[in-house]
Copies of this chain bind each other. A is one copy, B any other.
Amino acid sequence: MNSFRAINPQSGEEFGPEIQNLTQAQVSAIIEASNAPLLSPADRSALLSNIASAIDADRSTIVPLAMQESGLPEARINGELTRTVFQISTFAQLLATGSHIDAKIDHADANYGMGPRPDLRKMNQPLGTVAIFAASNFPLAFSTAGGDSASALAAGCSVVLKAHPSHPNTSRAVFEAIQKGIAASGQPKEIFSLVEGNDPQITHWLATHPKISAIGFTGSGAVGKLLMDLAAKREVPIPVFAEMGAINPVFVTSLAIAERNEALVKGAVDSALMGSGQFCTKPGLFVIPKSHADIFVAEVEKYLSTLSVGPLLNKGIADRYSTSISSLASLGSVKAIMGNPGVAGISATPTFFIADWATVESNAELLEEHFGPTTVIAIAEETQYEGVATALEGQLTATIQGTDKDSVEGLLAVLAEKAGRVIWNAFPTGVSVTAAMQHGGQWPSSSSHTTSVGTDALYRFMRPVSYQGMPQSLLPDALKDSNPLGLERLVNGVRTKQ
- A483-497 residues with Cβ-Cβ distance < 8 A to B are 490, 493, 495
Instruction: For the complex, give the distance between the alpha carbons of A15 and B121 in Å.
Output: 45
Which residues from chain B contact A263 at a C-beta distance below 8 Å?
none
Instruction: For the complex, give the distance between the alpha carbons of A466 and B290 in Å.
Output: 30
Instruction: For the complex, give the distance between the alpha carbons of A440 and B104 in Å.
Output: 17
**Which of A25-33, A110-118, A165-173 has 4 or more CB atoms under 8 Å from chain B?**
A110-118
A3 within 8 A of B: no
Inter-subunit contact B416/A125 (CB<8 Å): yes
Inter-subunit contact A424/B470 (CB<8 Å): yes
Inter-subunit contact A466/B426 (CB<8 Å): no
A448 within 8 A of B: yes
Name the CB-closest residue of B to A82. B114
With A114-B86, A436-B105, A437-B122 in contact, do A451 and B423 touch (Cβ < 8 Å)?
A: no
Inter-subunit contact A112/B432 (CB<8 Å): yes
Which residues from chain B contact A430 at a C-beta distance below 8 Å?
115, 118
Inter-subunit contact A412/B466 (CB<8 Å): no
A485 to chain B, nearest CB (A): 17
* A114 touches which of B87, B114, B419, B442 (Cβ 8 Å): B87
Inter-subunit contact A423/B468 (CB<8 Å): yes
Inter-subunit contact B437/A463 (CB<8 Å): no
Which residues from chain B contact A106 at a C-beta distance below 8 Å?
432, 434-437
A266 within 8 A of B: no
A256 within 8 A of B: no
Inter-subunit contact B438/A466 (CB<8 Å): yes
Inter-subunit contact B474/A408 (CB<8 Å): yes
* A118 touches which of B90, B404, B426, B463 (Cβ 8 Å): B426
With A228-B232, A449-B239, A465-B438 in contact, do A432 and B114 touch (Cβ < 8 Å)?
A: yes
Which residues from chain B contact A424 at a C-beta distance below 8 Å?
467-471, 474
A231 to chain B, nearest CB (A): 10
A221 within 8 A of B: no
* A432 touches which of B117, B432, B435 (Cβ 8 Å): B117
A414 within 8 A of B: no
A148 within 8 A of B: no
A389 to chain B, nearest CB (A): 14
A83 within 8 A of B: yes
A86 to chain B, nearest CB (A): 4
Instruction: For the complex, give the distance between the alpha carbons of A480 and B39 in Å.
Output: 39
Which residues from chain B contact A114 at a C-beta distance below 8 Å?
82-83, 86-87, 432-433
Give the size category of A's interface with B.
35 or more
* A421 touches which of B86, B434, B436, B466 (Cβ 8 Å): B466
A22 to chain B, nearest CB (A): 28
Inter-subunit contact A237/B436 (CB<8 Å): no
- C-beta contact mask, A418-430 vs B, less than 8 Å → 1, else 0? 0111111110001
Inter-subunit contact B464/A434 (CB<8 Å): no
- A370-420 residues with Cβ-Cβ distance < 8 A to B are 393-394, 404, 408-409, 412, 416-417, 419-420
Inter-subunit contact A443/B86 (CB<8 Å): no
A331 within 8 A of B: no
* A435 touches which of B122, B236, B465, B468 (Cβ 8 Å): B122
Nearest 3 A/B pairs, CB to CB: A449-B463, A438-B466, A86-B114
Q: List 21 A-B contacts (CB under 8 A).
A: A106-B435, A114-B433, A117-B432, A120-B432, A122-B438, A229-B232, A236-B393, A236-B394, A236-B443, A236-B444, A239-B449, A404-B473, A412-B474, A416-B465, A424-B469, A426-B468, A426-B469, A435-B493, A438-B466, A441-B464, A441-B465
Chain A contacts to B: CB under 8 angstroms: 79, 82-83, 86-87, 89-90, 104-106, 112-115, 117-118, 120-122, 125, 127-128, 228-229, 232, 236-237, 239, 393-394, 404, 408-409, 412, 416-417, 419-426, 430, 432-438, 441-444, 447-449, 451, 456, 463-471, 473-474, 490, 493, 495
